[in-house]
Structure 1
Amino acid sequence: MQPDNLNILKVLWRKGTSQAMRINPALDPSTLKLMDLELGDWLLFANNFARFIPFFPADTSKVTIDNWQLFFNDLLEEGNLPEKGTFAYAKLLQSIHDKLEFFEQQGSLKPQLTLLVAFLKLLENSSHSLNNLTKRHLDFYYKKILRFSKLAAVPDSAFLVIESGKGTKPILTKGTTFDGGVDANGKKRTYSLEYDFIPNLAQVSQLKNRYIDFNRKKIKVSQIANSLDGRGERFIDENHGWWPFGHPLANANYPELQDASFGFGISLASLWASADSDKYLSFLFTFKKNLPFSGTASDIHQLFSVEYTGEKGWVSLSPSAHPEKDNFKSSISGKQLKIVFFVGKSQPAIVDQQEKIHGNIKGKGAPLIWFDILCNSTKAFQWIKGIGETPLQNLSIHTSYSNINTPIIESDLGVLNPEKPFQPFGSIPKKGSSFYVKYPEWEKKNPKKVTLSGKWANTPEDFKEWYYSYRDMGNQYLSKDNYFSQHFVANASLDQPIKSFLLQPTGFRAPLLESKIIVNPDPDNLIVKSNNHFKASLSLKEDQGWKAKLAEVVLFEEDGDGFKTSFDILPEGGSSHLELKEGIKITLLQSFLSEMYPRIYALAMSSDQPETPIPNEPYIPLLENMLVTYETEEQFNFNSSNELDLQLFVRDDFGWYEENKNSKTALAHTPDNELYAFPVSQSAGEMFIGISGLVPFEQLSLLIQVLEGSENPSQNMGGEEEGLKWSVLAGNYWLELKREHIISDQTDNMLKSGIITFSLPEESFSSHERMDKALVWIKVSSTKVFNATSRVMGVYAQAIEVVLVDNENELSHLKEGLPAQSINKMITRKAGVKGVSQPYNSFGGKAAEQDNQFYIRVSERLRHKNRAVSLWDIEHLVLQTFPQVYKVKCLNHTCSSSFLSPGHLMVLVIPDTINKNVYDIFQPTFSAAKLNEIASFLAEKAAPRLAIKVINPLYEEVRVRLQVTFYPGLDKAFFMNQLEKDIINYLSPWTSGEKLAIDFNSHFNKSSLVYFIEKLSYVDFIQEPRIFRNNVEMGKNILPSSPMHVLVAAKSHDISVYAPISD
């Protein structure tokens, strides 16, 4: 906001009023002395006066020998008396004082001078009484007439931590006293408890936190919140403190915290799988609404990690580590998220949970698969939030188990070894011969599809040719002649039967040569007419016995140079799965003609015709291997009230728990009964306090010690609705504590140190797995940024507050507080109290008002009459009531948008920064709560129609850009840094922590800054100095934009070493 008219508003360009400006020397009675001569002054006066008094000897001679200055020869030397108030005069007074001290120690001062000095010292009593007349008059008027009195001392308080012993349960009644040591006078300090307190064995065992940065898209977590890095590293400075809700920072003071991770787990008995197969597992999640993000399969592979219960421990996988396969591809679309991963035969089996190798058994102990996302990117943050905030509806688990080469195979004759070639139908395969395929895992699963495949060994190239000699003779008698003649066929011109040639001496030789007969190329009586001749049926065992599921399947399918067999079995009649507990029965539908072979072989061998074909030995089926592949698919409805075989677990960095519809329904404090995959909070920050030793119905007294003033004042914690929320873990879900559960809270949303007393509900002690089950867990959550609250120094259980008892003690300790550990025992020991400790300094004490403070306060009170009328009144009321305010400035007729706004008043306040915790020392500000407190105070003192607004100044950064040349031989890197520090100290001297120099009317000239820099001992000269205010280059005079602005140094400046341009 720019001023409307700078000429009219000159009155607003004021410096304001500081605490130091309240001190008026005229208000101090000691500044006016009615008798201001002291012992040295009297002696010098007497010596100077004695110069004019003649000295006559004792013989009554009227002849003057000298003057009376001889009387002071031992104390004073001859010379001119310097003017009072000069350095020479002060030096002379000090010389007289030193000589008197010497004579007093030696006892060698002459008697006449001793009498004079004694008289002058006695005269000091009268001088003091006379000089005190002004003070007595002022005290009489202020205290007797106006009835003002000095403010009494405020006793300090201290937080103590009580350690209880086992056994007797003590009761500390109101008035119980504690030993605070002795004061400066050797008198014992006593601190008293002002309420009844019953200590117990509760202790703070663990502190954790998690912070969600919605702007940077990060989630950070600390397993040990009260440590530098969140993992246990000790603080270098014990007064460093830690952010209670974590932080997203990454610097030397606050190293980067760990990225948070979230996961969900699926536990299901049917997931058990041996290492005999290559396994594809597909998990298709359907949510109740569209997921608020999009992605690809590669995103799923990149973000998710998978681990399952293996034979020797947890086995980690990546969803991307598998070859592509139809229907087994990760995807995301709308409401659905499909995650597919692959477990090869070389990897361990998926087994049931075992406590020794997998840790605590989760749920029923069935195989467990975890899906986790580490929040280490913006995309991961979006997915975690999206999945965690969208309720689940269904889950479809589709699995494929392939390349199983070790099934249990039995023939009609016994068990076969599938790892070697075997004859599945025996050595004489005939119609009805069978073999059985079983797989133990089928007993735990419900396959929806089974594929059996195998490679046949030693097969003929063509079964039709191989079985060419095997004929269906029909009604003919199988004889030597019939067997032989069926292999030939007559030429079209032949008019006699083929068998007639057998009666001739040459048999079929001559007709074949004469082409009267030819070999039959396509006999119609072949038994094996093609490679598809041999068939089998596949049956499954049902209640009524074996029932064919595939009535007829071809055994031999061409596969390159050989043959294979492969067939799929699917459920029928609307059934969702196959019943395979008894395995699969494969039955031959034809014989392989082993029974026919001896007869036709004998006929062929007995034939005297050389052209008689010799039949091939029938093929005996020999499988090189038998591979089993099967698939399962199961559907689960998360909205069902029926108990599911599947268990859904969710976890974060602190633990896990089961998401169960019935369990959530049974709990009254769950926000809804929906199931979620990730336990993501809606709060920005969470701190978790693990309490041990607490039993039901006991109260918990927690001390939270904070570094007051370390919060970001621009972040207002707000009222009750926006403040911190306290919850307790009850049955794996957080139960928000109501007012009746929080008996008292002194912390003001953790902006100041104090004790919180809880009376936790019974649900707090119910069993849970979400965090360490041995502890009672309390959570405090915030919707604000991490630095909206103060940094925490410590959290202690069994805390009490004690107050100093007025025993007329010396109270010098009130200025800095009683040091920590000064109170370590009770005045009277109490059974059951094992120890007492004071972890931090006492606080809240205030020494009795001194005379000078009293006179300032009363004189101001007489002027403003406790009413905020003029600017002077308002500024002095604020400074008196709020000593933490260093400077205040009132802008009358001013609002946030105009400097010409009658009826409005703007009050700007600057905090005291010396030895104080300030969030930003460059731009010190008050918190919104403190500003509101000041505004409320002024509203009670001002006219009701006056609109008062109290704000922090508007700071404008001044940044310097220049080139510098240092004197030869100096370390350029070091002195560049030193120059930046000196510029900052010049522009903002208060940043050193030793000065209070913030000025509302701050301005400077560019030449003065240049002069300052060039006078530095290490600077030779500078080039091209430029000054920027809020990134806008300024001219010679640098002024604030308006009376509401204050110029401050930027935290860094553009300084470079001058490099001359060579010709």
Structure 2
Amino acid sequence: MPCTEKNILQREGTSNLNRVLQALSASYAQPDERDTADLLLFAQRYAAYLNYYKPDNTPDGNWEALMKMDISVTLAVLIKTDIRAIADYKKLLYKKISLAETEADVKKDFRFLFDCIFTLVKIIDDQYKLIPGDLDFSTTFKNVITLKMQSAFLNLFKLFNDFKSNGWIDNISPALDSDAPFVVFNANDFDITALSADWGTPPVDPIITLPSFPVVKDNIVHIINHNIFNAQIDILWKGISEIITAAAQLFEQTLNSFPAHTPHYALFISFIKLFRHAQDQLNIYTKRHLDFYYKDTLLLANKPAVPDAAHIVFGLQKNIVKHLVKKDTLFKGGKDSTGKEITYALTDDIVVNTATVNSIQSQQIHPVSGDLIASLVAASEDGQGSDIKAVDKSWFTFGDINKSKIAQPGFAIASNLLFLKEGARTIIIAVRFSEKLEGLTPNLKTPFHWFKGRLTAEKGWHEIPGIDLFLAGTSGSVNTFLFRLRLSPDDPPVIPYAESVHKENFAAGLPVVQCILQQDADNNLPYQFIAGKKIQSVTLSVTVNGVKDLALSNDTGTLDAAKPFKPFGDFPDNAASFYIGSKEIFQKELNWIDFNTEWEIKNGPGETQPSLSNARYLRQSNWNTSYPVSTLNRLSFAVPGSFIKAKPDFTANEILNANTKEGFLRLQLQSSAYSLFSHMTKIQSQLNSITLTENDNKVTFSTGEQPPVPAEIFLNNFSIDYAATATISFTDSDSVNNHLFYHITPFGFAEVHPRLISTDNNTEPGEKITLLKNTVHSGELFIGLDNAAPNLVINILFQVADGSSNPLKNPEQLKWFYLSGQNNWKSFDKKFIIDYTKNFTQSGIVTITLPDDINADITLFKKGFFYIKTAADANCDAVCKMIMIQAQAARVTLLQDETKQIEFRETRPASSIAKLVNSDAAIKTISQPFDSFEGRIKETDDHFYTRVSERLRHKQRAITIWDYEHIILEAFPQIFKTRCLNHSGFYFKGAAEVFCENYPGHVTIITIPDQKNKTNINPLRPYTPIGLLQNINDYLITIISPFVKLHVKNPAFEEIQVDFKVKFHDNLDESFYIQLLNDEIEKFLCPWAYDSQAEISFGGKIRKSAILNFIEERTYVDYVTCFKMNQVISRNGSVHTEEKKDIEVAEGSTSRSLLVSYYDEQTGVKHIIQSPATCDC
């Protein structure tokens, strides 16, 4: 048989409703089951056999008249009239008539019907006559007869005579029916005149036309199927039922508070009440028999009460750092339901300390998009601090993927290269990955804007909305990200980080750039795609155009570049110096420097700019490094390290002085044409050219050319362009570095460098040298502890919302870590964690011993607190929602005392336990934040009989299907129903889990939880929490064959969705009635979700016609068209992965399937109802 076929053994399973064997109940079959009315009627009948003797000792009748004259007897006769048995008897007679083979049998059975009717009327009338007229019941009795029963009875009497006249009634045989529910007489002997006058006289005209078939049976069958005939009988039955109901109420009154009893009957009633004690003793015979066998012979006993437990939280007095509270310390629990003082005892020693839970944060990788979502305040509705809307105040442990804010992970670089005060600035960050990035294509033309930038500015962080990102690589593969950030001259200066301004806890001293992944951008880069990729190097390059904030001077003093100036001074000699200083420029690893000059040479030697010698850089107070200046006014430092940078200094520029050691460049004039000597030489030459000429006694003075003017060198405008580069090495072990790489997380940051990565064996696995911090777990919950210390033992209460985990996921094994120095997460040693929550599937205490290397000097979170985290590798929703996380918790249990009859009777509400029996000065507060749990009352005898009966059958070994189901229901009261499927199990096909119903050696258990008092169970899909499923599995493993492969699973809920158009009656609110109709269809398909007495059924069938008929019967529905029924077998969210459309009959596709009403939690869609109906079909 293939896996796709159903198990041939189709059963309903066992529930708490059908588990109990009724025969084990002590009241199931009692030796004397007579009640008071039965005893009164017995006495009446028995009196008929007792002779009454006159004074002369001669018989004179019997005692019957004496014993039936009391009102209680009369009422007893009425209430013991079983109208249901009479109605069933009527159905039996109708069946006999229909199946009768002879005319005589038909007539006789037809007469039996009237035997019953007339005898019943006679009984009612006899009791009516005995009712005292002064009772209100007499008036009620009369009104029922005259207003309700009279007409029907008289019509039936008239019909009887008509039937008799036609020969349809047997008037020959005197036989009476032994199947009648009471003693009847022959209807032919009925005398209507003997009845009370209130019954009236028969009508003259018949109420129905008598048939005239040739065969008598056909006529009688026609009569018994006639609506009018049956209506008369039903009216009569209803009247009698009304009388019986009223009589039952009065009967109890007459037994307890009726003063008109005759003395002898009052004495008899007293005897009957006393007789009840003897009767009760007799009726416990069944119980005594069971007790003898189970308790005396087998020496079994009722299970004692199981004490309840509670979690309490301690608070210490001031100045108390640690305090021991010993095991068995007693706490006051108030009074129980019987008024007795109860106490609770501490289950284990606890050293209370001052540690508290200061912060709770979480992050999770979205299972579909791969985005990182973060909750800065985990205990809130949206993860950002809003009020929780859930009634139980629960919140998603790892964050709500639908409400939590998308995180802003990124990276940051702190470097002196980023000290960029002015000009047009371009920052290039080249990130080279160790491996090719599959799925990306090189693109150096069109930038992506997956990241946004932030730079440290004077007034805070300067935002850059979209960073240009280019993809570089070789051979069609990407291995490098090129980030380009541009700043215009109008953008603010980039300055070193200052905590008072930027407030993000970076170490002060270096400018910082942050690149933040924009996860909410269109066509974004998925966080999960890039986070785990190892990077090889990060190269930071800056290019700046137009630096004017310079310290300029020459041999004669400082220079003001705000106006044209003489860089070499007046009459500069050869080797005259022009000094250029800039703390921004010369502390960087320069690639080149360009001098933007606007030379103006006046009266010079004909050159457009002066000749300059090699530039020299001041290093350790010596001008010992020479750099040639190109014709393009560029200094090039092509050889890495050829320029020896100055120490980082972010203060204002200073003028060169005798104490200056570095940070200046010297340009020297390579010409003497501008010197004073050159100018004086020109003057001398001019003087030498002067001549005196005498002519006609006149002397003429001739100078030749004009007097020489000094040659001057001016710079009308001067600025510097430069480029610098630095590579962040992840192999350099030097701890002193001006270029730092950081991971930006939703809660802080961490410097990234191999020297900071712990090499301990318990360090959290995963690649550390990455562009974005690698989140190796699907979900992480971070807990910040205040007032803690290494080696401290902390007991933390994790209160979860029971049943709130995703029951379709497999249990998740949580991992625990602590944050050590250098922001390294390290796993706890197993001996340091004691988890009573079973991976957050139930409320409990986790005892944590903080390791000696836990560190509060961290940057990933708020500094000064110790952080621990618990992480889920895959299924974040496989853990329950959280309600509270609180430190200094302990567990106490009820102290039961058999001698004082103190035992568990009821759950103790929150805040019941708040005081010690013997006060302790060190303890300031004791609180019980939640109700107690785990308590079970003492086993009742009925449950004891059931348990022992089952135990004797399965012998605490799960072998048969019956064994599995009954063992589970006994061991786990949280389960309402279970079904065992033999030769069925699950196997993996790829990542999918497949259910196979032909799998020898495998057994599958399907469970349905008890929904009473459960707030986290979806009534339409009652899933069992995975923690409970695991508990069931662990329990059964110990009592089954080692060769059995066990699977404990939830049902497969297959949904029924109807699609139709409807026309409501006129003047009805369509939107309201569409919603009402949706709800009513849901109740029709899932009655057990609304009625605790309705039982949920596995498999089953639902016919389209049944749903259609139900809809058409709604009073507000006019008509329905285009009706279709679809069966959704499986779906992923709103996407139906497997379904059957427009079917006539829906049937569960597997033996573990349950048919339920359709409801999409994401969209709120139930059934598809359109109104008004506009189609033509």
Superposition deviation, residue 144 in structure 1? 1.2
Q: 1:1035 to 1:716 in 2, by over 3 A?
A: closer
- Asked whether 1:576 is paired with 2:642, we answer yes
Instruction: Tell me which residue corresponds to 1:141.
Output: 293
Instruction: Tell me which residue corresponds to 1:83.
Output: 80
Q: 2: CA distance between counterparts of 1:623 and 1:997?
A: 98
Report which stretch shifted further, 1011-1020 or 348-357. Answer: 348-357
Alignment counterpart, residue 735 of structure 1, candidates 826, 830, 847: 826
Q: 1: CA distance between counterparts of 2:347 and 2:639?
A: 81
- Give CA-to-partner distance per residue, 1:584-640, whole Å, 9 cap, x none: 224152526755766788869999999x99799676443321122222223342211
Alignment counterpart, residue 836 of structure 1, candidates 907, 926, 945: 926
| SS state at 1:290 partner | strand
What does 1:288-367 correspond to in 2, within 5 Å? 288-291=434-437, 294=440, 296=443, 302-318=449-465, 320=467, 331-333=471-473, 334-359=478-503, 362-363=506-507, 365-367=509-511
Instruction: Tell me which residue corresponds to 1:1057.
Output: 1171
Q: 1:48 to 1:108 in 2, by over 3 A?
A: same
Instruction: Tell me which residue corresponds to 2:1107.
Output: 1009
TM-score (norm 2): 0.74
Q: 1:934 to 1:360 in 2, by over 3 A?
A: closer
- Asked whether 1:535 is paired with 2:611, we answer yes
What does 1:554-593 correspond to in 2, within 5 Å? 567-571=633-637, 575-577=641-643, 581-591=663-673
Superposition deviation, residue 977 in structure 1? 2.4
Give the AA of the match of 1:748: K
| SS state at 2:257 partner | helix
- Asked whether 1:1021 is paired with 2:1113, we answer no
Give the AA of the match of 2:729: N
Give the AA of the match of 1:151: K
Q: 1: CA distance between counterparts of 2:339 and 2:524?
A: 65
Contact 2:1060 2:1120 in 1 (8 A): yes
| SS state at 1:778 partner | strand
What does 1:55-74 correspond to in 2, within 5 Å? 69=66, 73=70
| SS state at 2:381 partner | coil
Q: 1:429 to 1:835 in 2, by over 3 A?
A: closer
Instruction: Tell me which residue corresponds to 1:126.
Output: 278
Contact 1:449 1:577 in 2 (8 A): no
Give the AA of the match of 1:188: E
Superposition deviation, residue 810 in structure 1? 7.1
Unaligned 5+ segments in structure 2 are: 84-240, 646-661, 694-699, 987-994, 1129-1138, 1160-1165
Q: 2: CA distance between counterparts of 1:179 and 1:538?
A: 92
Q: 1:417 to 1:783 in 2, by over 3 A?
A: same
Superposition deviation, residue 412 in structure 1? 4.5
Contact 1:716 1:927 in 2 (8 A): no
| SS state at 1:198 partner | strand
Q: 1: CA distance between counterparts of 2:1041 and 2:386?
A: 56
Alignment counterpart, residue 319 of structure 2, candidates 167, 171, 184: 167
Alignment counterpart, residue 232 of structure 1, candidates 385, 392, 406: 385
Q: 1: CA distance between counterparts of 2:471 and 2:5?
A: 65
Instruction: Tell me which residue corresponds to 1:635.
Output: 727
| SS state at 2:716 partner | strand
Superposition deviation, residue 927 in structure 1? 5.4
- Give CA-to-partner distance per residue, 1:651-682, whole Å, 9 cap, x none: 21111233343333586754589644432220
Q: 2: CA distance between counterparts of 1:801 and 1:574?
A: 67
Q: 1: CA distance between counterparts of 2:396 and 2:774?
A: 20
Give the AA of the match of 2:615: S
Alignment counterpart, residue 715 of structure 1, candidates 774, 790, 809: 809
Q: 2: CA distance between counterparts of 1:606 and 1:261?
A: 91
Instruction: Tell me which residue corresponds to 2:791.
Output: 697
- Give CA-to-partner distance per residue, 1:939-969, whole Å, 9 cap, x none: 6555665665544433332221111111222
Contact 2:331 2:913 in 1 (8 A): yes
Contact 1:170 1:198 in 2 (8 A): yes
Report which stretch shifted further, 987-996 or 346-355. Answer: 987-996
Report which stretch shifted further, 986-995 or 195-204. Answer: 986-995
Q: 1:666 to 1:179 in 2, by over 3 A?
A: same
Q: 1:367 to 1:374 in 2, by over 3 A?
A: same
Superposition deviation, residue 84 in structure 1? 4.6
Superposition deviation, residue 379 in structure 1? 5.9
What does 1:65-464 correspond to in 2, within 5 Å? 69=66, 73=70, 81=78, 83-85=80-82, 91-103=246-258, 112-168=264-320, 169-249=322-402, 256-275=403-422, 277-291=423-437, 294=440, 296=443, 302-318=449-465, 320=467, 331-333=471-473, 334-359=478-503, 362-363=506-507, 365-376=509-520, 380=524, 382=526, 384-385=527-528, 387-426=530-569, 428=571, 434-442=577-585, 444-456=587-599
Contact 1:220 1:260 in 2 (8 A): yes
Q: 2: CA distance between counterparts of 1:1009 and 1:779?
A: 52
- Give CA-to-partner distance per residue, 1:442-481, whole Å, 9 cap, x none: 453353422212224597xxxxxx99xxxxxxxxxxxxxx
Instruction: Tell me which residue corresponds to 1:478.
Output: none
Q: 1:1007 to 1:391 in 2, by over 3 A?
A: closer
Q: 1:65 to 1:369 in 2, by over 3 A?
A: closer
| SS state at 1:241 partner | coil
Contact 2:499 2:508 in 1 (8 A): no
Superposition deviation, residue 27 in structure 1? 2.1
Q: 1:54 to 1:304 in 2, by over 3 A?
A: same
Superposition deviation, residue 188 in structure 1? 0.7
Superposition deviation, residue 318 in structure 1? 4.2
Superposition deviation, residue 1019 in structure 1? 1.6
| SS state at 2:966 partner | helix
Q: 1:906 to 1:445 in 2, by over 3 A?
A: closer
Q: 1: CA distance between counterparts of 2:405 and 2:1061?
A: 41
Give the AA of the match of 2:912: S
Give the AA of the match of 2:844: G
Give the AA of the match of 1:783: D
Report which stretch shifted further, 31-40 or 616-625. Answer: 616-625
Superposition deviation, residue 140 in structure 1? 1.2
- Asked whether 1:681 is paired with 2:775, we answer yes
Give the AA of the match of 1:180: G
Q: 2: CA distance between counterparts of 1:574 and 1:129?
A: 109
Instruction: Tell me which residue corresponds to 1:497.
Output: none
Instruction: Tell me which residue corresponds to 2:912.
Output: 822
Give the AA of the match of 1:313: G
Q: 2: CA distance between counterparts of 1:170 and 1:427?
A: 85
Superposition deviation, residue 787 in structure 1? 1.0
Contact 1:291 1:335 in 2 (8 A): yes
Q: 1:429 to 1:899 in 2, by over 3 A?
A: closer
Superposition deviation, residue 83 in structure 1? 3.3
Contact 1:56 1:66 in 2 (8 A): no
- Give CA-to-partner distance per residue, 1:763-807, whole Å, 9 cap, x none: 124522221222211100011222111111211111111111113
Report which stretch shifted further, 441-450 or 40-49. Answer: 40-49
Q: 1:47 to 1:874 in 2, by over 3 A?
A: same
Q: 1:870 to 1:226 in 2, by over 3 A?
A: same
Higher relative contact order (Cα pairs below 8 Å, separated by 6+ residues): 1
Instruction: Tell me which residue corresponds to 1:36.
Output: 33
Contact 1:170 1:831 in 2 (8 A): no
What does 1:570-969 correspond to in 2, within 5 Å? 570-571=636-637, 575-577=641-643, 581-591=663-673, 620-643=712-735, 644-664=737-757, 669-670=762-763, 675-717=769-811, 722-742=813-833, 744-765=834-855, 767-808=857-898, 814=905, 817-892=907-982, 905-916=1003-1014, 921-926=1019-1024, 930-931=1028-1029, 934=1032, 941=1039, 949-969=1047-1067
Q: 1:848 to 1:283 in 2, by over 3 A?
A: same
Give the AA of the match of 1:401: V
Give the AA of the match of 2:354: L
| SS state at 1:535 partner | coil
Report which stretch shifted further, 673-682 or 930-939. Answer: 930-939
Report which stretch shifted further, 20-29 or 865-874. Answer: 865-874
Q: 1:82 to 1:300 in 2, by over 3 A?
A: same
Q: 1: CA distance between counterparts of 2:772 and 2:1071?
A: 50
Superposition deviation, residue 685 in structure 1? 0.4
